[in-house]
């Protein structure tokens, strides 16, 4: 028996998490994890520092990413795993997302100004100079400027889907994103199916050429995870899992609160050995 645990879903300061790639590796050690995949939104920058640090600290790190996509007008997150970190296809998609995020935050700042909550681009970028800006960064500045009392309130009143300052931005189709992950040698996984409320979207996704589904997610109770695990098993897909750790912006989700064991991790290891 082994007590091997791997958290396959977490975010760093390279996207909208609050701990750096190095800190997340140290935290993985402290949390008793053996394996990890960092899955920042639309970027793989964390691997520039995390790969070597993970080796030093004895954490097995498998490349990961969480791509933003859209299907039938709704936002869908897709996890990519065990792809080549040198893949031109993956790097090109990340670059397109970086540009999309710049256009989108500018549009959101325009809407906020119209709602008498001005934030300058400089104020936003001073918080996160790398420029891979997400809505949580905007929410933090809104809080600092006293427009809202919490990040959650910023989402509920202004930034959440359908709210007055929500801006979708250009959306990448799911199928295209799966193709890019495959072109990079990786495995494409449906992220947190528990959160997709529109059943027809789920049905469409389940017909697409995914390699896996995130069955274990955050702090969802086993009763709500069962269905997705069963679907994954039935399809012969990989059933992945992870915390969706973001640090202090989501304090209720500690690193390692959801995880997979060594059997699942071994499949990723074997796959990655072939692409790297
Ligand atoms: P974006 O990638 O810019 O569309 O932002 C998506 C991020 O916002 C994801 O990490 C979500 O989990 C996060 N998010 C959504 N709703 C909330 C909320 N109420 N409080 C904090 N973060 C949220
Ligand atoms: Zn996030
Ligand atoms: Fe997500
Ligand atoms: Fe996530």
The sign of the CA dihedral 23, 269, 95, 79 is negative
Q: Give the residue among 162, 177, 161 at the shortest CA–CA distance from 69.
A: 177
| pLDDT, tens digit, 9 for 90 and up, residues 224-276 | 999 999 999 999 999 999 999 999 988 999 999 999 999 999 999 999 999 98
Please state, in angstroms and rounded to a whole number, the distance separating the CA atoms of residues 21 and 33.
15
Q: How far is the CA of 119 from the centre of ligand 2 (A)?
A: 21
The reported pTM is 0.95
Q: What's the pLDDT score for residue 131?
A: 64
Residue 219 CB neighbour total at 10 angstroms:
11
Atom of ligand 1 nearest to the CA of 135: 3
Task: Tell me: pLDDT of 1 over 70.
Answer: no
Atom of ligand 1 nearest to the CA of 138: 3
Percent of the chain residues past pLDDT 90, beyond the cut: 93
Q: How far is the CA of 1 from the centre of ligand 3 (A)?
A: 32
Q: How far is the CA of 1 from the centre of ligand 4 (A)?
A: 30
| pLDDT, tens digit, 9 for 90 and up, residues 165-196 | 999 888 899 999 999 999 999 999 999 999 99
Percent of the chain residues past pLDDT 70, beyond the cut: 99
Instruction: List pocket residues of ligand 1, CB cut-off 6 Å.
Output: 16, 41, 68, 134-136, 151-152, 155, 249
Task: Tell me: pLDDT of 202 over 60.
Answer: yes
**Which residue has its alpha carbon closest to ligand 1 atom 3?**
134
């Amino acid at each position: 028996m082994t007590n091997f645990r791997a958290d396959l879903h977490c975010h760093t300061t390279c996207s909208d998490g609050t701990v750096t790639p190095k800190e997340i590796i140290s935290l993985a050690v402290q949390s008793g994890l053996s394996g990890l995949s960092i899955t920042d939104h639309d970027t793989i920058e964390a691997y520039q520092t995390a790969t070597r640090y993970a080796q030093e600290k004895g954490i097995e790190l498998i490349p990961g990413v969480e791509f933003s996509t859209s299907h039938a007008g709704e936002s869908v997150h897709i996890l990519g795993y065990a792809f080549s970190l040198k893949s031109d296809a993956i790097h090109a998609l990340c670059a397109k997302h970086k540009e999309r995020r710049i256009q989108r935050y500018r549009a959101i700042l325009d809407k906020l100004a119209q709602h008498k909550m001005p934030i300058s681009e400089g104020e936003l970028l001073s918080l996160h100079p790398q420029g891979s800006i997400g809505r949580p960064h905007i929410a933090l500045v809104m809080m600092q400027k006293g427009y809202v009392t919490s990040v959650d309130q910023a989402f509920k009143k202004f930034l959440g889907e359908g709210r007055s300052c929500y801006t979708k931005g250009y959306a990448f189709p799911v199928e295209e994103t799966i193709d890019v992950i495959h072109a990079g040698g990786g495995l494409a996984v449906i992220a947190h199916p528990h959160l997709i409320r529109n059943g027809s979207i789920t049905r469409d996704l389940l017909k697409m050429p995914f390699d896996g589904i995130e069955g274990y997610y955050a702090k969802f109770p086993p009763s709500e995870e069962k269905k997705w695990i069963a679907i994954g098993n039935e399809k012969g897909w990989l059933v992945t899992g992870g915390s969706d750790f973001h640090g202090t912006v989501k304090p209720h989700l500690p690193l390692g609160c959801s995880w997979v064991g060594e059997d699942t991790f071994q499949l990723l290891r074997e796959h990655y050995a072939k692409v790297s």
